[in-house]
């Protein structure tokens, strides 16, 4: 069956099937005792694996183009479509998404099912852009559910438990431009004392470091040039069509960090030239919001990923708790990234009900050592109600996770109603959510 994109997880399913029509997909669902949807293989754990077969919907709609509704400000697209492809379709037509993840390579269906996100204190996760979903449930029924319908909040971040998503309708907005500026050497003192101000200084801000005493090696500051966003980094006087750099609030210093003198390579490896355009050069949202270009392998490639969400109000306590483990983490760490996500109302979203800080770890390919570290990280963050990214490595089980999601019982009931034969169940759903096999 092969592995995920980074080679850090080997799928155990017996086969991968690619239906070419909805009728074929329905027949496959109703005839299979166990199956799961597989997206772009960007998860790092067994969330997408199956004790039976895996199903990709990448051949379901052939060459069908996304459908834009200008009146509704939405686009409807096949669930297997990657964000990079959708962005390339929307931008020349004058439309945009509210945000993108650091990797544009990921499939829309997989990203929304796991609560994947970008950054920005005012930006919800990628899942929050979903206006409607179409999926084949465990009875073979084609279900369409839209924002405002009963059960919608439980259907978006669903971990594949309800069915196989075929189409997704996303909110869109007029296209905009972004400039990306990189700053280096942000001290611990500045980061801890001014964390909220730093993360709200632009439309999207990310901090990279390794938990050493020097602080954060890089700050990636993405400024939306039409004035939408937060803080002094939003240049309201600059039109979205501008092609020249405007006066920039942080031209000389970003909370004490200095501008990078040359292009910064991948934060996970200085010899990897795979990042998007930097240096404050304005460009389309689609080419600045991601960290990595769509035409190259992102990050380091050979890696393991972990990510924990805490309330943004607890950021200082969380950073100090992880910093205390720094000497144990660094031998196995490529880089840590800090991002912020606005609160949402999606039942299984790691950002449900609270503005969040996501603490991301890109690990070296040291699986035994990383597994040994995870319980210590989770113990350190336990007092501030840590939640994991569903598609990455974590040690928490259903007993610890159930109290963190007030709608878990509602989700379990929804999953039972949409999949009474438990066709979409797998060991992950039992281990992490406590759903019966």
Structural domains of the chain ordered from first start: 177-288 (3.30.70.2530)
DSSP state of 308: E
The predicted structure's pLDDT at residue 325: 98
Look-up of token digits 């979203």: 349
Residue 61: which of 75, 48, 77, 82 has the closest Cα? 77
Residue 345 tokens read as 């109302």
More confident residue, 238 or 223: 223
Closest CA to 101 of 360, 405, 283: 360
Task: Read off the tokens for 130.
Answer: 């979903």
C-alpha 30/C-alpha 331 separation (Å) is: 48
Q: 236 or 129: whose pLDDT is higher?
A: 129
d(CA 75, CA 130): 10
Task: pLDDT band for 97, please (50, 70, 90 cuts).
Answer: very high
Instruction: Give the span between the Cα atoms of 90 and 192, in whole angstroms.
Output: 38
What's the pLDDT score for residue 236? 37
Question: Using 50, 70 and 90 to split pLDDT, how confident is the model at 264?
Answer: confident
Does residue 245 register a pLDDT over 70? Answer: no
Region 350-373: what's the mean pLDDT?
97
CA–CA gap between residue 70 and residue 268 (Å, rounded): 39
123/384 Cα distance (integer angstroms): 22
- Give dist(CA 243, CA 280) in Å, integer: 11
246's tokens? 């405007």
Q: Per-residue pLDDT tens for 284-338? A: 999 999 998 988 777 667 899 999 999 999 999 999 999 999 999 999 999 999 9
| Confidence tier at 261 by pLDDT (50, 70, 90) | confident
Please say whether the beta carbons of 288 and 276 come within 8 A.
yes
CA–CA separation, 424 and 34 (whole Å): 6
> How many Å apart are CA 8 and CA 365, to the nearest integer?
7
Q: Rounded mean pLDDT of 88-92?
A: 98
Residue 240 has pLDDT above 70, yes or no: no
Q: Look up residue 110 and give its two tokens.
A: 């997989």
Q: Which residues contact residue 352 at a Cβ distance below 8 angstroms, ignoring those fewer than 6 apart?
A: 343, 344, 345, 346, 405, 407
- Please determine, for residue 238, whether its predicted confidence score (pLDDT) is greater than 60: no
Please write the tens of the pLDDT for every residue from 417-433: 999 999 999 999 999 99
**What pLDDT is recorded for position 7?**
87
In this predicted structure, the answer to whether residue 237 has a pLDDT above a threshold of 50 is: no
Determine phi and psi for 338, rounding to 5 degrees: -105, 130
Residue 86 tokens, joined: 């959708």
Please compute the mean of the pLDDT values over residues 375-396 and round it to a whole number: 97
What is the percent of the chain with per-residue pLDDT over 90, rounded to a whole number?
A: 85
Q: Name residue 142's beta-bridge partners.
A: 136
Task: Tell me the three state secondary structure of residue 327.
Answer: helix
Q: What integer pLDDT is reported at residue 296 of this predicted model?
A: 78
Distance CA 398, CA 335 (A): 28
Of the candidates 163, 110, 159, 113, which has an alpha carbon nearest to the alpha carbon of residue 136? 163
Predicted local confidence at residue 230, as pLDDT: 61
> Quick check: 262 pLDDT over 90?
no
- Token couple for 28: 């496959």
Q: Could you identify the residue written with the tokens 């210590």?
A: 376
The pLDDT, as a whole number, for residue 270 is 65
| pLDDT above 70 (res 114) | yes
Helices 367-381, 315-323: axis angle to 10 degrees equals: 140
The residue written with tokens 């329905």 in the block is 26
Q: Averaged over 345-349, what is the pLDDT?
A: 98
Q: How do residues 1-16 score in pLDDT, each as one tens digit?
A: 799 878 889 999 999 9
User: What value does the mean pLDDT take over residues 159-186?
Assistant: 98
Distance of CA 270 to the CA centre of its chain: 23
* Mean pLDDT for the stretch of residues 357-369: 97
Q: Which of 61, 104, 113 is nearest to 86 (CA)?
A: 104
Query: What pLDDT score was predicted for residue 375?
Result: 98
Please write the tens of the pLDDT for every residue from 14-55: 999 999 999 999 999 999 999 999 999 989 899 999 999 999
Average pLDDT, the chain: 93
Q: How many CB atoms lie within 10 A of CB 181?
A: 22
Extract the tokens encoding 437: 């096999």
* Local confidence band at 227 (pLDDT 50, 70, 90 cut-offs): confident
Which residue(s) pair with 224 in the sheet? 178
The strand pairing partners of 309, in sequence order, are 358, 387
Q: Is the pLDDT of residue 409 over 50?
A: yes
| Arithmetic mean of pLDDT, 163-175 | 98
Residue with token string 């159930």: 402
Would you place residue 213 in the very low, low, confident or very high pLDDT band (cuts 50, 70, 90)?
Answer: very high
**What is the Cα–Cα distance from 351 to 294, expressed in whole angstroms?**
26
Are the CB atoms for 108 and 82 separated by under 8 Å? yes
Its pTM stands at 0.94
DSSP state at residue 120? -
pLDDT at residue 272, as a whole number: 72
pLDDT of residue 242: 37
Structure-token pair, residue 106: 């990921």
The angle formed by the CA atoms of residues 164, 301 and 323, to the nearest 5 degrees, is 100
Q: How confident is the model at residue 232 (pLDDT cuts 50, 70, 90)?
A: very low
Total Cβ atoms within 10 A of residue 374: 18
Determine contact, residues 26/142, Cβ cutoff 8 Å.
yes
Per DSSP, 41 falls in state S
């Amino acid at each position: 069956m092969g592995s995920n994109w980074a080679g850090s997880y080997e799928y155990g399913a017996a086969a991968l099937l690619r239906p070419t029509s909805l009728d074929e997909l329905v027949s496959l669902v109703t005839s299979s005792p166990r199956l799961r949807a597989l997206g772009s293989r960007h998860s790092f754990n067994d969330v997408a694996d199956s004790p039976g077969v895996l199903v990709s919907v990448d051949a379901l709609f052939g060459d069908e183009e996304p459908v834009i509704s200008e009146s509704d400000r939405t686009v409807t697209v096949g669930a297997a479509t990657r964000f990079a492809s959708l962005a390339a379709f929307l931008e020349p037509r004058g439309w945009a998404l509210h945000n993108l993840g650091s990797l544009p390579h990921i499939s829309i269906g997989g990203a929304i099912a796991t609560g994947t996100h970008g950054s920005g204190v005012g930006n919800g996760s990628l899942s929050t852009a979903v206006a409607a979903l179409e999926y084949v449930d465990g009875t073979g029924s084609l279900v369409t559910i839209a924002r405002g319908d009963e059960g919608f909040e439980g259907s978006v971040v669903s971990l594949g438990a309800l069915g196989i998503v075929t189409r997704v309708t996303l909110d869109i907005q007029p296209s905009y431009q972004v400039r990306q500026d990189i700053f280096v050497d942000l001290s611990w003192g500045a980061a801890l004392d001014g964390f909220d101000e730093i993360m709200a200084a632009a439309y999207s801000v990310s901090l990279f470091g390794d938990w050493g005493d020097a602080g954060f090696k890089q700050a990636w500051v993405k400024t939306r040039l039409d004035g939408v966003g937060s803080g002094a980094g939003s240049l309201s006087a600059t039109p979205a069509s501008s092609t020249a750099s405007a006066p920039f609030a942080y031209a000389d210093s970003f909370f004490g960090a200095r501008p990078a003198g040359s292009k910064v390579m991948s934060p996970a490896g200085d010899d990897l030239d795979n990042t998007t355009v930097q240096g404050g050069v304005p460009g389309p949202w689609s080419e600045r919001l991601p960290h990595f270009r769509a035409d190259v392998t992102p990050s380091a490639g050979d890696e393991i990923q972990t990510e924990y969400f805490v309330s943004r109000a607890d950021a200082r306590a969380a950073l100090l708790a992880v910093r205390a483990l720094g000497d144990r983490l660094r031998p196995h760490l490529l880089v840590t990234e800090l991002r912020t996500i606005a609160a949402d109302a999606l039942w299984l979203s790691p950002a449900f009900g609270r503005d969040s800080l996501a603490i991301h770890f890109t690990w070296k390919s040291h699986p035994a050592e990383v597994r040994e570290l995870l319980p210590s990280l989770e113990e350190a963050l336990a007092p501030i109600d840590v939640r994991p990214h569903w598609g990455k490595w974590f040690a928490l089980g259903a007993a610890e996770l159930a109290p963190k999601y007030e709608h878990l019982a509602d989700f379990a009931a929804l999953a039972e109603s949409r999949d009474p034969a438990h066709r979409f169940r797998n060991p992950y759903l039992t281990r992490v959510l406590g759903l019966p096999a």
